[in-house]
Structure formats: structure tokens, C-alpha cells
Amino acid sequence: MDFMSNAFVKTAANYSVVVLCLVVFLAVFELVTRYKNWVEIKNGNLSVAMATGGKIFGIANIFRYSIAQNDSLITMITWGIYGFVLLLVGYFIFEFLTPKFQIDKEIENDNRAVGFISMIISIGLSFVIGEGIE
């Protein structure tokens, strides 16, 4: 009997891998943003919390599609990484398309409108990215 054919084992494996990837991917986002996510969230910055929550949802949603489409753990991880890269590209496009102000600076200053749009972009793009996963 294949060890991964057990639903409990497969669920635990998927969960463990996704949590690990989530931590790594959030660390990457932390490197590319000008603010410190967890410091700002601890200080009550709702804009950072919304933007970070959108990233968490986006990453998890991409992996949801990857898990649904792939039986292999390695293939699931590969698609998840690819989806994260596309989500990261989306973040840079958002920054590029708003030349009149800096997204990171507005979010750091708790501009909730910008934080909300950032969250919605991450969530929306995750559905588009996820749908393309095979």
C-alpha cells in the first residue's frame, strides 16, 4: 500500500508543506516591502493586516488549486511556487501602475483604502492563477 494513498497522511503532508511554504513566502514578501509586517500589525496597522491577510489568502488559495489538480507532493509544491512567483509579480505590477504614490508607504501609513485594494488584488489574482494550474 502506498503511504500517500492514505487520506489522513496525504492531508497532513499537504498541510505541513503549505504551512512551511507560507512561512517562506511571507518572509519573501517581508523582504520586498518597505515596512515590517508583524511589527506594523502588532502596532495595530489595519492596512498592513489587510495587505498581509490578502497575501496569506492568496498563497493558500493557490495551493488549494495546486492540491486539487495534483496527486504528487512535488508537483503540488512546484505549481505552488510558480503561483507564488506570479502573485509576487502582481504585487510589483500594482506598485508600477500607481506612479502617483508609493503603495508600501501608503500601507505603512495605514491608508486603509490602499491596504484594502492590495488585499483584493492578492485574493483576485490567486483565483486567476489557481484556475491556470494543471
Segments making up each domain of the chain, as ranges = 3-132
**pLDDT at residue 14, as a whole number:** 95
Q: Could you read off the pLDDT of 13-33 as tens digits, one per residue?
A: 999 999 999 999 999 999 999
> What's residue 2's pLDDT?
73
pLDDT at 1: 53
Residue 85 in this model has a pLDDT that exceeds 90: yes
Residues belonging to the chain: 134
State the first-to-last Cα distance of the chain, in angstroms, to the nearest integer: 26
Q: C-alpha 92: how far from its chain's center?
A: 13
* Predicted local distance difference test score (pLDDT) of residue 117: 95
pLDDT of residue 84: 96
Average pLDDT over the chain reads: 94
pLDDT value of position 101: 86
pTM for this predicted structure? 0.91
pLDDT at 70 over 70: yes
Measured between alpha carbons, how far is 49 from 53 in angstroms, rounded to an integer?
A: 6
Identify the helix (H) or strand (E) that includes residue 71: none
Confidence of residue 97 (pLDDT cuts 50, 70, 90): confident
Asked whether the predicted pLDDT for residue 46 surpasses 60, the reply is yes
